[in-house]
């Protein structure tokens, strides 16, 4: 931060919205009551955005200034039917620690669960993960990142042997063919999209292929839009690869020397002729062939993919089938080429790095690996055998276990599952049945807060320090520009204070204290010590280095002068034998097919100017100019068939629930398909949002739910 005249200050930080991770300069000033944020501009030196910001980033100051709805002091209630009352921090921390420790003593460590967030900073994530796994001995800690990128994680691990994209943002400027798959980057990653647009404008040879059932704003700009039937991505990619095999467009030498599993895949591909694949996908066969040709003959093909692949009961298969195209043609490990998953949230990557999920340990280690558990136990100075070998409960299972009573208590931090989880009626019931619910939040008006027995007020963007990792593995500092309002405290501090109290009660006599780190910098030092020797080694990166050299990509080992822009350039992968792996991946249909009763396919997605449940963007009036109200988009033919008119209220129902929305007519969706944005929630609607009807089927390997697709019925609401 740099101080200026009149108490004005500029603080270098990172945008808190999407995984692009744009650098920002926060302007603030001292006022009689303390200090306030006066403006935000893009950081011209940050390598993610070079000064650019999108509408959400540009209005950060407006959302940060608003104290409306902020959680300002701790609150507790003794019985579920009582109202919560404000208390001081000491009582709140003592009570939460006592309730959780008591449940662990009575029912064992797996009776407690944590549900945290890709919006938390790496340091927050680290402390929560250590509290759950290191202190309590449960792996029941999952995150809303499960809903956004866990299929990308399993795809990378299965294909390359390690998590994390092999690519970097510079590749956006060097790619000649860009394949967007299930990504509306124009809305969800706007600054990257600007970079791509500029690269395309500079080079007439750059071609874009967009794979998306909807004609999104990204698709509208494509040279080729493949409007596939929802969920048929694997058939498309297999059909493209079949064509590449047939035309001899593979890199046979690379496949032979650096990969395994291709013969089995090739055998499977016989069933995926372009004609048959195009039929499954509902696209013209010549378009499928054109996409394969553009990809296979390109000097540099880059794939950008996101929720459209990941939020699926077959998300891992979709990721693998796309990665196969890159491996078979060696479109990776060099400038402008590679499979590049775009993370939705600002720190989904950082959460993966610290192992803050139910299915992993710190620094990309595996829960089921005895040696990995022993390494973490040694680094955390735990007694051998302290870490649980049992995988924890992933998001959907976690709330299901709360519903069944297997899990008694949940601590929810910085996320709003009563809005974002599939089948939220079930999530509400689970929280009602829970013995104890802790909600740690910056905002007291989310849909989840009413279920809290303890509300712990957290500081938020502009008020807290730490780091985040963006989609290209780049670690950036997040810095506080102003003090948090009221009694709000940093998330890591709240988790650590409760942890210390539980430790005093539960830890074995003579056990080394686990929570001595008392600032973001020292927590980060602990985290990086765990990464040494791992694929994401950041032994050479501390806060001083980030201060002097700016944001850096991992890996960044001790001897490195800088981070690594691209991975696997030498063809050596992170698998045991160093070879990348193909997996014979057949196409499987969506988890919930349409039926006579539920004949329409519901797709969900995002709006350009809103973020998640609108906790922040909902405070900025100008962000409603683009899409002022919720709505259900339907093809005009489908509406005419049902006698529905634009603006009319319609009831959207599935096997799980229903909600009422105004009807919008649009040919961005094909006949038989409807679309609704996921942002609007119970704060804005008489019911909850679109997740009243979404379905909780999960991918068997990534355990990510199929939030993108459900079978629904739409009819006149018939209200009053």
Between 17 and 399, CB nearer to ligand SF4? 17
Return the closest-CA partner of residue 540 out of 525, 559, 554.
559
Between 54 and 306, CB nearer to ligand SF4? 54
CA–CA dist 73, 612 (Å, integer)? 24
CA–CA dist 373, 386 (Å, integer)? 9
> What are 136-139's contacts with CB under 8 Å, separation 24+?
136/100, 136/104, 136/109, 136/112, 136/502, 136/506, 137/109, 137/386, 137/387, 137/388, 138/109, 138/110, 138/112, 138/113, 138/388, 138/392, 139/358, 139/359, 139/367, 139/388, 139/390, 139/391, 139/392
Distance spanning both ends of the chain, measured CA to CA: 57
Between 63 and 702, CB nearer to ligand SF4? 63
Between 50 and 543, CB nearer to ligand SF4? 50
Q: Report the DSSP beta bridge partners of residue 2.
A: 10
| Nearest-CB residue for ligand SF4 | 57
Between 52 and 403, CB nearer to ligand SF4? 52
Q: Least distance in Å: CB of 419 to ligand SF4?
A: 19
Q: Least distance in Å: CB of 343 to ligand SF4?
A: 11
Q: Least distance in Å: CB of 355 to ligand SF4?
A: 24
Q: Least distance in Å: CB of 42 to ligand SF4?
A: 7
Between 21 and 392, CB nearer to ligand SF4? 21
State the Cα angle at 55 between 51 and 60, rounded to 5°. Answer: 80
Q: Least distance in Å: CB of 58 to ligand SF4?
A: 7
Tokens matching residue 318? 């979709």
Q: Least distance in Å: CB of 473 to ligand SF4?
A: 15
CA–CA dist 579, 577 (Å, integer)? 5
Between 238 and 552, CB nearer to ligand SF4? 552
Q: Least distance in Å: CB of 322 to ligand SF4?
A: 23
Tokens matching residue 210? 């967009």
Between 57 and 274, CB nearer to ligand SF4? 57
CA–CA dist 164, 102 (Å, integer)? 39
CA–CA dist 460, 70 (Å, integer)? 10
DSSP element (H, E) containing 12: strand 8-14
Q: Least distance in Å: CB of 474 to ligand SF4?
A: 12
Between 21 and 696, CB nearer to ligand SF4? 21
CA–CA dist 641, 648 (Å, integer)? 15
Between 53 and 328, CB nearer to ligand SF4? 53
Q: Report the DSSP beta bridge partners of residue 353.
A: none
Which residues 6+ apart lie within 8 Å of 391 measured at CB?
139, 358, 359, 367, 368
CA–CA dist 372, 659 (Å, integer)? 46
Between 156 and 193, CB nearer to ligand SF4? 193
Tokens matching residue 92? 């709140």
Between 18 and 309, CB nearer to ligand SF4? 18
How is 200-259 classified by DSSP, letter by letter? Answer: HHH-TT-EEEEE-SS--HHHHT-SEEE-PPTT-HHHHHHHHHHHHHHTT-S-HHHHHHHE
Q: Least distance in Å: CB of 76 to ligand SF4?
A: 35
Q: Least distance in Å: CB of 713 to ligand SF4?
A: 35
What angle do the packed helices 491-506 and 89-107 form, to 10 degrees? 50
Q: Least distance in Å: CB of 15 to ligand SF4?
A: 3
> What are 370-374's contacts with CB under 8 Å, separation 24+?
none
Between 40 and 322, CB nearer to ligand SF4? 40
Residues that bind ligand SF4 (CB under 6 A): 15, 17-18, 20-22, 49, 53-54, 56-57, 189-191
Between 56 and 99, CB nearer to ligand SF4? 56
Between 17 and 451, CB nearer to ligand SF4? 17
Q: Least distance in Å: CB of 56 to ligand SF4?
A: 4
State the Cα angle at 97 between 91 and 101, rounded to 5°. Answer: 145
How is 442-483 classified by DSSP, letter by letter? Answer: SBTTSSSGGG-SEEEEB--TTS--EEEE-TTSEEEEE--SSP
Tokens matching residue 620? 């900025």
Q: Least distance in Å: CB of 170 to ligand SF4?
A: 17
Q: Least distance in Å: CB of 550 to ligand SF4?
A: 16
How much is the CA Rg of the chain, to the nearest whole Å?
Answer: 25
Q: Least distance in Å: CB of 26 to ligand SF4?
A: 13
Q: Least distance in Å: CB of 123 to ligand SF4?
A: 19
* Alpha-carbon distances of 514 from 65, 103, 126, 493, rounded to whole Å: 36, 21, 12, 14
How is 568-621 classified by DSSP, letter by letter? Answer: -TTS--SSTTS-EE---------SS---SSS-EEEEEE--TT--TT-TTGGG-G
Between 49 and 95, CB nearer to ligand SF4? 49
* Alpha-carbon distances of 499 from 77, 376, 454, rounded to whole Å: 21, 18, 16
Q: Least distance in Å: CB of 611 to ligand SF4?
A: 7
* Alpha-carbon distances of 605 from 152, 411, 679, 709, rounded to whole Å: 18, 27, 9, 10
Between 63 and 531, CB nearer to ligand SF4? 63
């Amino acid at each position: 931060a740099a101080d200026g005249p009149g108490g004005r200050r500029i603080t270098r930080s990172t945008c808190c919205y999407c995984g692009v991770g744009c650098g920002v300069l926060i302007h603030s000033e001292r006022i009689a009551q303390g200090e306030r944020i006066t403006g935000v501009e893009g950081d011209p030196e940050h390598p993610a955005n070079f000064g650019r910001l999108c509408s959400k980033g540009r209005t950060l100051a407006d959302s940060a200034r608003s104290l409306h709805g902020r959680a300002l002091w701790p609150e507790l209630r003794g019985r579920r039917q009582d109202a919560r009352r404000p208390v001081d921090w000491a009582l709140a921390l003592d009570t939460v620690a006592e309730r959780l420790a008591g449940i662990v003593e009575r029912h064992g460590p797996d009776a407690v669960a944590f549900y945290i967030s890709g919006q938390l900073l790496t340091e927050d994530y680290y402390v929560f993960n250590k509290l759950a796994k290191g202190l309590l001995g449960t792996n029941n800690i999952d995150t809303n990142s499960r809903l956004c990128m866990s299929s990308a994680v399993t795809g990378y691990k299965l294909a390359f042997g390690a998590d994390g994209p092999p690519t970097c943002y510079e590749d956006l400027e060097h790619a000649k063919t860009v394949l967007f798959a299930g990504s509306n980057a124009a809305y969800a990653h706007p600054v990257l999209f600007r970079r791509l647009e500029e690269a395309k404008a500079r080079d007439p040879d750059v071609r874009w292929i967009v794979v998306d059932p909807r004609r999104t704003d990204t698709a509208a700009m494509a040279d080729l839009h493949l409007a596939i039937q929802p969920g048929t991505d694997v058939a498309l990619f297999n059909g493209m690869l079949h064509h590449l095999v047939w035309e001899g467009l593979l890199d046979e030498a690379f496949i032979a020397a650096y990969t395994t599993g291709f013969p089995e895949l090739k055998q499977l591909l016989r069933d995926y002729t372009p004609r048959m694949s195009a039929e499954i996908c509902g696209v013209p066969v010549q378009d499928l062939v054109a996409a394969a040709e553009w990809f296979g003959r390109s000097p540099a093909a880059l794939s950008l993919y996101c929720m459209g692949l990941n939020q699926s009961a077959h998300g891992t298969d979709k990721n693998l089938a796309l990665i196969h195209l890159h491996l078979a043609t060696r479109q990776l490990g060099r400038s402008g080429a590679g499979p590049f998953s775009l993370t939705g949230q600002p720190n989904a990557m950082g959460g993966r790095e610290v192992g803050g999920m139910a299915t992993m340990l710190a620094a990309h280690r595996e829960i089921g690996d005895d040696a990995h558990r022993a390494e973490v136990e040694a680094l955390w100075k735990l007694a051998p055998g302290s870490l649980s070998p049992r995988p924890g409960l992933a998001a959907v299972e976690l709330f299901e276990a709360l519903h069944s009573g297997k899990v008694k208590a949940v601590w929810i931090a910085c996320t709003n599952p009563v809005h974002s989880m599939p089948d939220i009626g079930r999530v509400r019931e689970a929280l009602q049945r829970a013995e104890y619910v802790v909600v740690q939040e910056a905002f007291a008006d989310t849909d989840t807060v009413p279920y809290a027995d303890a509300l712990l007020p957290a500081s938020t963007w502009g008020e807290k320090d730490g780091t985040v990792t963006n989609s290209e593995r780049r670690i950036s500092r997040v810095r506080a520009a102003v003090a948090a309002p009221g009694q709000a405290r940093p998330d890591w501090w709240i988790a650590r204070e409760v942890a210390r109290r539980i430790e005093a009660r539960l830890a074995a006599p003579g056990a080394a204290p686990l929570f001595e780190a008392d600032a973001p910098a020292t927590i980060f030092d602990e985290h990086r010590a765990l990464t040494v020797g791992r694929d994401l080694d950041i032994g050479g990166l501390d806060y001083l280095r980030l201060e002097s050299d700016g944001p850096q990509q991992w890996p960044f080992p001790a001897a490195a002068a800088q981070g690594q822009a691209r991975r696997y350039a030498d063809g050596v992968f992170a698998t045991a034998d160093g070879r990348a792996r193909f997996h014979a991946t057949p196409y499987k249909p969506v988890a919930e097919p349409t039926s006579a009763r539920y004949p329409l396919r519901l797709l969900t997605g995002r709006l350009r100017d809103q973020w998640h449940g609108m906790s922040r963007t909902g405070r900025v009036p100008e962000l409603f100019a683009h899409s002022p109200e919720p709505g259900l988009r339907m093809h005009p033919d489908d509406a005419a068939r049902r006698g529905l008119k634009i603006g009319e209220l319609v009831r959207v129902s599935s096997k799980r629930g229903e909600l009422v929305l105004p009807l919008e007519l649009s040919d961005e969706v094909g006949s038989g398909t409807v679309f609704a944005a996921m942002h609007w929630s119970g704060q804005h609607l008489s019911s909850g949002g679109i997740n009243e009807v979404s379905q909780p089927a999960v991918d068997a390997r990534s355990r990510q739910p199929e939030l993108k697709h459900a079978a629904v019925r739409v009819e006149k609401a018939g209200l009053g």
